[in-house]
Structure 1
Amino acid sequence: MGNEQIPHHHPMPATPHRPAGHGTSVVRTVHRWLLGRIGAFWTLLTDRPVSLYAASVLRIGYGLLYLAFLLREFPHRDEIWGPGSPWTPALAEQLFDQTGWNSFLVLSDSRAYFESCYVMALITSALFVLGWRTRAISVLFAVVVTSFHARAIFMTDGGDNLVLLMAMYLVLTACGRRWSLDARRARLRTARTGSAPEPVRSFCAQQLRDARTTLTTVVHNCAMFVIAAQVCFLYGSAGLYKVQGPTWGGGTALHYALNLELFQPWPALSHLVDEYPLLIAIAGYMTVLLQVAFPFVLFGRLKYPVLTLLLSMHMGIALLMGLPLFSGAMIIADAVFLPDRFYVFVSHLWRRATQRTGMYPPAPRRAAGTGSVPSQGGPNKPSAKRRATPAGQRGTVLATGRTSDQD
């Protein structure tokens, strides 16, 4: 017993000490971060309309594009959409029963009715470009584009489909608040009233006014986000579809496209470009790379060279393949990704150039403080310009417009 050894007990390793409530503090931090992100998104969505200049560029661009399209097809209007078309109104109505499309062009076989509809479409497109009563005219423009698209649906292409989608999206936007007759009328009205006090409204009237302004802002912002998402999806899906093809992977896709007689407006030019196979292969690979990478470069400065290369690509398609409508529709759609400060800068350059040549009178000097943008609510609501702009919004579209203006 005396020689027995007492076993040695090793102490258990000490567990790291965590202060009480450590997990709770992490949860609270994450909760505060989520609330901050949600608040920033809600402010971006409801505070003021984004990309007012970009929306105006879309309105002017697609209005001009469709007006030029109707004028270009004016000699062939009867064979495409009119009573003399091989695709008769009876056949069109049978297709409408299956597809759900509709068109006001099939309501009558009268030539006078068709000619009046065509003139109405031309006038609507012109008024849409000018921005006169944009809310009502945008709806009428969407109806015109939809009716003409559905009447000759077998003669449409990707450019027509994109113009149709954009025409419907622009109905929901405030695309008449910049560079339009509506904006000019609002400026003249503001100049006439001057510093006159606003009429006193009741509490209910003011609440209804604020609710209408907020609803218009939210609908506009959502529509602009949908337009941007539509363009991203278009580019991304086109790039991924090309990756699956062996000709794009082998760098020979553009070679076959240049030798299609249907897409050779100038055969000599197409054959000249086809004599440089290395450049054609590089252009094919760059096309796939730009389209696949486009949705991932929108939130940085890399988007500007990408947009420039895409502009060159679409101009090449219009020139070499004879697809000006498709190229024009895509170039106009890319304009949604340029911030408003870019359009303001271009507008200032244009104004200076016209003032130097005497085409535009010099703008009167504004008094101090007249250039500030008021809040979208009433006078008691704090101005949104005093709020700090989130860092994530600086590289995206910026709003510089007044939300209380009407289209």
Structure 2
Amino acid sequence: MPQRVLNRIHAFLVLLTERPVSLYAAAALRIGYGLLYLAFLLREFPHRDEMWGPGSPWTPELARQMYDQSGWASVLILSDSRVYFEICYAVALVTCALFLLGWRTRAVSVLFAVVVVSFHARAIFMADGGDNLMVLMAVYLVFTACGRRWSLDARRTRLRASAGKTAGPHGGGVRNQLRDARIILITVLHNCGMFVIAAQVCFLYGCAGLYKVQGPKWGNGTALHYVLNIDVFRPWPELSQMIDGHHLLIAVVGYLTVLVQVAFPFVLFGRLKYPVLIVLLGMHVNIAVLMGLPLFSGAMIVADAVFLPDRFYRAVGGLLRRTVQRAGVMRAGAPPGTAPAAVPQQPGPAG
């Protein structure tokens, strides 16, 4: 029995220090959150001064007073100049784009976290659950190797490898030891970061489900009726009223929501997690449409991607490549369903 425990501990340490896990999931998180925040900043571009700039009702002086008490910080209040704010906004847009593309990801991820925290802290009273989750994930991703896949960094590494410029075992023993220690440190930080992200999502769903269980309206199946009749969260009143008319559907969806959220942390190590993730995807899409909370729903959908294995992302990547190749063949004039002609084999040298 002790030997079995020791073997498991050894296997865990090997996994923690020698192999970075969920590299594709980390890349999906990087792309998802970079794209979400870039779209968010572009959408609010006409209102940027009222939300975060010197013209905001929540003035920089009021923000400084709050930061002295709350501990928050923001680079946006370092100066009250409008020119400074516009420069910060332009830098934020560029940072989100570079983070999305995975260019110098290790450094850009730090800048992305600073951008997200700064904009969140500058308009903290306008934030919702999606903004809070975005802040947490931006900080967590700093510790992950989220630029190893689907990034400009990964492309540059492949080009160097194909050109034979990969770093070999040159240098003295101390240099090799330092390089190995750096690799182990990066691997451990990445694995711990991915574990914290997964734990954060589990904690979020578990707490949300347990909180709903305590409410009588969720217990009697009428909670969604009240949700659909909140004027602030009804971008499509006619659609909300139409759905609210189906009382049985409202009750079933309410009970299913509570069940899925409470059960979520317990189904992650089996195949049952896939239908649960599909149900959660549908739930977040409905929240985005019916309640007008696209940023919150998008942040939750991207967070759920951490639980998909790398083989899923490789399969999706292969499917996309085949789709692009078929589209290229069709644009070239080949009839649909026709495979591209194979290149005839060239004759080798005589003899």
Report if TM-score (shorter chain) is over 0.5.
Answer: yes
Matched, 1:48 2:19: yes
Residue in 2 aligned with 1:340?
Answer: 310
Does residue 139 of structure 1 match 2:115?
no
CA distance in 2, matches of 1:323, 1:143: 24
Counterparts of 1:48 and 1:252, CA distance in 2: 48
Flag the 1:228–1:197 CA change in 2: closer, same or farther, 3 A: closer
Q: Is the counterpart of residue 294 in structure 1 residue 247 in structure 2?
A: no
- The equivalent of 2:91 in structure 1 is 120
SS at match of 2:163: helix
Deviation at 1:198, TM superposition (A): 2.9
Distance 1:148 1:139 in 2: 14
Deviation string, structure 1 residues 63-89 (Cα, Å, up to 9, x no partner): 000000001111110000001001001
- What letter is aligned with 2:320? W
Matched, 1:150 2:121: yes
Partner residue of 1:235 out of 182, 205, 208: 205
Secondary structure of the residue aligned to 1:174 is: coil
Counterpart of 2:162 in structure 1 is 191
Alpha-carbon distance in structure 1 between the residues aligned to 2:221 and 2:73: 42
Equivalent of residue 86 in structure 1, options 46, 57, 75: 57
Runs of 4+ in 1 over 3 A off after TM superposition: 359-362
Deviation at 1:358, TM superposition (A): 1.1
1:168-247 map, 5 Å: 168-193=139-164, 198=168, 200-247=170-217
Q: 1:267 aligns with which of 223, 237, 256?
A: 237
Q: CA RMSD in A?
A: 1.5
Give distance in 2, aligned partners of 1:282 and 1:316: 15
Structure 1 unaligned segments of length 5 or more: list them. Answer: 1-29, 363-407
Give the C-alpha shift of residue 200 in structure 1. 2.4
Letter in 2 for 1:306: V
Question: Shift in Å at residue 99 of structure 1?
Answer: 0.5
Name the larger-Rg structure: 1
Identical aligned pairs, as a percentage? 72
1:280 alignment partner in structure 2: 250
Query: 2:349 corresponds to which residue?
Result: none
1:329-368 alignment, distance < 5 Å: 329-358=299-328
1:309 and 2:279 correspond: yes
Q: 2:67 aligns with which of 82, 87, 96?
A: 96
Partner Cα separation in structure 1 for residue 299 and residue 99 of structure 2: 16
- Residue 58 of structure 1 is matched in structure 2 by 29
TM-score normalised according to structure 1 size: 0.80
Partners of 2:169 and 2:176 within 8 A in 1: no
Measured in 2, the distance between the counterparts of 1:83 and 1:256 equals: 38
Residues matched between the structures, number: 332
Provide the rounded CA distance (Å) in 1 between the counterparts of 2:150 and 2:20: 16
SS state of the match for residue 358, structure 1? helix
* Superposed displacement of residue 199, structure 1: 5.2
TM normalised by structure 2 equals: 0.93
CA distance in 2 between counterparts of 1:157 and 1:147 reads 15
2:294 equivalent in structure 1: 324
Letter in 1 for 2:71: G
Give the whole-Å Cα distance in 2 for the aligned partners of 1:111 and 1:203.
54
Alignment partners' CA distance in 2, 1:308 and 1:188 = 37
Q: Distance in 1 between matches of 2:317 and 2:167?
A: 31
Give the whole-Å Cα distance in 2 for the aligned partners of 1:199 and 1:52. Answer: 25
Aligned mates of 1:188, 1:41 — CA distance in 2: 33
Shift of 1:357: 1.3
Question: Residues of 2 paired with 1:241 and 1:200: CA distance?
Answer: 58
What amino acid is aligned across from residue 225 of structure 1 in structure 2? F
SS at match of 2:118: helix
User: Aligned partner of 1:255: which letter?
Assistant: H
| Number of the residue aligned with 1:109 | 80
Task: Give, as a single letter, the amino acid of the residue that structure 2 aligns with 1:97.
Answer: D
Looking at structure 1, the residues matched to 280 and 83 of structure 2 have their Cα atoms a distance apart, in angstroms, of: 43
